[in-house]
């Protein structure tokens, strides 16, 4: 069964894969790692301009490691989930200190870097170094849920059963496995999408368990929505925007102007301080972190 999936999906990928900068040879392992941090919960269209600026400014981990972590937060712009910027900065420092400035090839060493979990370690090892690892993001999980398990959506959180299935589906050959990881991810991003599955364009539609079952409706737990307006996330974003645009410490009054509700505003600011994204100073001033 596995080869019947591998061959058509990889052939489709060879023809339809997007030309993305982190897929080009000149991106190198660091470019792949930067893209993986940025693409978590953020669409490609928003990542592209920030990615290009980031790599132009910090082409190697050591270049980023020399800067204050607040500069990483500033350059992150409005990508969202800005703690990723701090984690990427921390990873750059560790790569510089532990690995001579080169992104490690070993999966265990990647996993030991700060801010890197199982998915990112597997993705970097696979996409940057062509190694054989199961790379399970939301798109891949959805493709596997439909094509193999026969359900519309995967569970809200990755399960042991999904990891086991991903390992079972992994091609034996290392190079083919790395290609399969990229191809199955692209298929989920472009064709087998969450809202509008394109079965007429899918290379494995004829053997998709969900389609063959008549596309039964999702019966599991309600899928989590991505609400933003009026949330603490929105307030945090507004507060960070003020600090990113300022190159000197910002008084409390300047932050107070960006959100009308004082309790929520204070909670959001406290959260930013706790997360290390904002540094409070004497006299009621705030800035992006310097250390």
- Secondary structure letter of residue 217 according to DSSP: P
Cβ proximity of 141 and 196 under 8 Å: no
The DSSP bridge pattern shows strands 279-281 and 285-287 to be antiparallel
Starting at the edge strand found earlier in the chain, the sheet holding 285-287 runs 250-251, 285-287, 279-281
The HSE-up count of residue 272 (CA atoms within 13 Å, CB side) is 32
Whether 53 is catalytic: no
CA distance 170 to 178: 9
Q: Could you give the angle at the alpha carbon of 205 between the alpha carbons of 174 and 200, nearest 5°?
A: 120
Cβ proximity of 25 and 83 under 8 Å: no
Q: Which helix (H) or strand (E) holds 184?
A: helix 174-190
Residue 228 CB neighbours (<10 A): 10
Cβ proximity of 3 and 169 under 8 Å: no
3, 36, 71, 261: which is the annotated catalytic residue? 36
- Residue in the structure block whose two tokens are 């792949």: 32
Q: Which of 146, 68, 65, 73 is nearest to 99 (CA)?
A: 65
Q: Which of 220, 283, 223, 212 is nearest to 251 (CA)?
A: 283
Q: Could you give the residue numbers annotated as active site?
A: 36
């Amino acid at each position: 069964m596995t080869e019947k999936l591998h061959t058509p999906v990889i052939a489709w990928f060879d023809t339809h894969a997007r030309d993305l900068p982190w897929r080009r040879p000149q991106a190198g392992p660091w470019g792949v790692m930067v893209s993986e941090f940025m693409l978590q919960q953020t669409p490609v269209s928003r990542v592209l301009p920030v990615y290009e600026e980031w790599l132009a400014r910090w082409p190697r981990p050591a270049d980023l490691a020399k800067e204050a972590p607040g500069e990483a937060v500033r350059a992150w712009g409005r990508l969202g989930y800005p703690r990723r910027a701090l984690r990427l900065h921390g990873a750059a420092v560790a790569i510089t200190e532990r690995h001579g400035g080169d992104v490690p090839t070993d999966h265990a060493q990647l996993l030991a870097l700060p801010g890197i979990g199982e998915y990112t370690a597997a993705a970097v090892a696979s996409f940057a170094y062509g190694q054989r690892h199961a790379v399970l993001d939301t798109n891949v999980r959805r493709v596997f849920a439909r094509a193999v398990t026969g359900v519309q959506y995967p569970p809200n959180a990755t399960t042991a059963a999904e990891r086991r299935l991903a390992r079972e589906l992994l091609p034996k050959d290392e190079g083919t496995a790395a290609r399969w990881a990229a191809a199955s991810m692209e298929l989920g991003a472009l064709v087998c999408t969450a809202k509008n599955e394109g079965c007429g364009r899918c290379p494995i539609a004829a053997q998709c368990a969900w389609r063959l079952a008549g596309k039964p409706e999702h019966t599991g737990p309600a899928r989590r929505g991505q609400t933003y307006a009026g949330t603490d996330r929105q307030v945090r974003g507004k507060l960070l925007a003020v600090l990113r645009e300022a190159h000197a410490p910002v008084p409390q009054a300047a932050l107070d102007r960006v959100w009308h509700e004082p309790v929520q505003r204070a909670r959001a600011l406290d959260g930013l301080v706790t997360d290390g994204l904002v540094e409070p100073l004497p006299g009621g001033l705030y800035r992006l972190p310097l250390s």
